[in-house]
Amino acid sequence: MLDGAAETTFVDLQDAFVRTGFERELLCVRGQLGQACPLEIGGERILTAQRLLARNPSANEEVVAEVSMGDARLLVRGLDAAKAAAANWKRQSFTDRARYLLRAAAFLRQRQTMLSAWICLGTGMTWAESTQETRRAVASLEACGQRALRLGEGVTVTYLGTDDHEQRYIPLGVGVVLADDRQSFAQTVAQAAAAMAAGNTVVLIPAVQTAVTASKWLEVMRLAGLPDGVLNLVPAASLHDAAAVAKSHAKFVLPQGSSWKDTVVVDEQAAVEEAAQQIVRAAFGWAGQAPGACARVIAHEAVYEDLTDRLVELTQQLVVGDAADARTQMGPLVGDAAREAAAVHLAACARQGRLLYGGRSVGAQGWFMEPAIVGDLDANAQPVASDVQGPVLLLTEAPDFAAAVAMANQAGNGQVASVFSDERSHLEDAMERLDALHLFVNQTCSQQMAQAWTESAWGGPDMRTLMRRRAVWERLAEKR
């Protein structure tokens, strides 16, 4: 079994009180399944004739909600509502905007077990993963609120001779956040919260599977007193079509959940057991769909065989099953299309390497797939450069550490990489030469992904990428 699971669960799911609470919330949520999930535009909740069924990925005959879908007309209406609310929202101080987010964080923390149950049944995350996801959402709201408070402390004022020079940050305007079926709840919250803290109004456009949890979050924002029109919800059957409409009306569109995957380099001087434990957790958490999930490992030839054997052994021990079962360590993929894409990706990789374990569709119901490992892949193999989301781990052998770093740069995406080594000079070399905006040393990126993405890709430090910097020059004339 995998060691150290408690590191990433935030709560002790072995505790009888905690388990009973989660089971109670799951039972409560199951009693609400199948209800209509409305749009929300300018504070008005709207049910439409066009509805799609959000299904439980663990039992796809079970309908989680009937999601009202918005067409182009309703999307434009949502953008207009956000524009109408923007004038008052941008005039609110950073401190006032921060209060709404911090209040929402407090309400969300009070309801975290309930929301975790919705995430579990709606997206296929396990108990531990859904609990962690809710905690990350709370942390994102608090972080955005705190950054807004810091920005509200003052502006830069410089006196240049007879001129008074002042710099202010002003919002961009109306923004859109797209959330596809594989974008996690915490990602969606972090993107929208950063935009609102910066003074922008937002139209959230989720796909059918993410619409339910997004709707639950809007309920929390209403409890926090967020003014109507600041955050609007318009689910769309086609995010591609919705994005085309949004780009012609909105000031910015935050991208869909990234499919960036982690490339892990394992050196000859590395703790193989620790690396194997972390790689398996990172590769197969949320069935390999999480941003930054480990997709490929490039290992020094001296440890490649031992590492491969241990990875296969640990993967065979994973309990795959219903996400609502406390014993499950890997749940389903979020939909049939996701499972099919992962199967096609696996087949292409297996033709160029050697299938070591897994890959079969399992279970009579639900979108389940065995975690799969493909070994002996050439770093130049085309599938290795793919970022298909799913529980597929690819292994490549390198003759030395320098070659491993070069292979990682070739196979990676320039965004995320990890390195395991006990040799300091090799770590320094990796910090210099590994082509990645986020480099994780002796750990996989999934353990720190929420904080890393909140600080950088989702609005940047202090949300400056979601604002404009305006310079004000005032000539100081003497009074006569």
Q: What is the DSSP letter of 340?
A: H
What's the pLDDT score for residue 7?
Answer: 37
What's the pLDDT score for residue 155?
Answer: 58
Give the model confidence (pLDDT) of 394-420 as tens digits: 999 999 999 999 999 988 777 889 999
H helices within 124-235, ranges in order? 127-151, 185-197, 208-223
Ramachandran quadrant class, 10 (left: phi over 0; alpha: psi -120 to 50; beta: rest): left
**What is the three-class DSSP state of 33?**
coil
Give the model confidence (pLDDT) of 5-23 as tens digits: 333 334 566 677 677 889 9
What's the pLDDT score for residue 154?
Answer: 58
The letter for the amino acid at 208 is V
- Chosen CATH of 262-436 out of 1.10.3720.10, 3.40.309.10, 3.40.640.10, 3.50.50.60: 3.40.309.10
| Distance (Å, whole) CA 31 – CA 215 | 17
The letter for the amino acid at 52 is L
Is the Cβ–Cβ distance between 174 and 201 less than 8 Å? yes
Tally Cβ neighbours within 10 Å of residue 360.
10
| Distance (Å, whole) CA 63 – CA 55 | 4
CA 427 vs CA 208, 286, 361, 377, 424: distances in Å: 43, 29, 39, 24, 5
Task: Supply φ then ψ for residue 416, to 5 degrees.
Answer: -135, 135
| Distance (Å, whole) CA 242 – CA 178 | 9
What does the pLDDT average to over 208-223?
95
| Distance (Å, whole) CA 49 – CA 53 | 13
Q: Which residue has the higher pLDDT, 371 or 170?
A: 371
The length of the chain in residues reads 480
Question: In whole angstroms, what separates CA 116 from the centre of its chain?
Answer: 15
Tokens of 424: 């300091």
Q: Which class for 249: exposed (0-12), middle (13-18), buried (19 or more C-beta within 10 A)?
A: middle
Q: Using pLDDT thresholds of 50, 70 and 90, give the confidence band for residue 240.
A: confident
Q: Across all residues in the chain, what is the average pLDDT? A: 88
CA 106 vs CA 120, 141, 387: distances in Å: 21, 9, 36
Q: What is the DSSP letter of 233?
A: E
| Distance (Å, whole) CA 424 – CA 421 | 8
* 450 pLDDT above the threshold of 80: no
Domain boundaries, the chain: 14-257+453-471, 262-436
Domain 14-257+453-471 -> CATH class:
alpha beta
Give the model confidence (pLDDT) of 340-381 as tens digits: 999 999 999 999 999 999 999 887 789 999 999 999 998 777
Give the model confidence (pLDDT) of 45-89 as tens digits: 999 999 999 999 999 999 999 999 999 999 999 999 999 999 999
Q: Which class for 435: exposed (0-12), middle (13-18), buried (19 or more C-beta within 10 A)?
A: middle
What's the pLDDT score for residue 254?
Answer: 87
What does the pLDDT average to over 449-478?
62
Give the model confidence (pLDDT) of 292-341 as tens digits: 889 999 999 999 999 999 999 999 999 999 999 999 999 999 999 999 99
Q: Using pLDDT thresholds of 50, 70 and 90, give the confidence band for residue 157.
A: low
Half-sphere exposure of 31 (CA within 13 A, CB side): 7
* 448 pLDDT above the threshold of 90: no
Half-sphere exposure of 26 (CA within 13 A, CB side): 20
CA 321 vs CA 4, 334, 431, 433: distances in Å: 21, 13, 38, 40
Task: Supply φ then ψ for residue 326, to 5 degrees.
Answer: -60, -20
One fold for both 14-257+453-471 and 262-436?
A: no
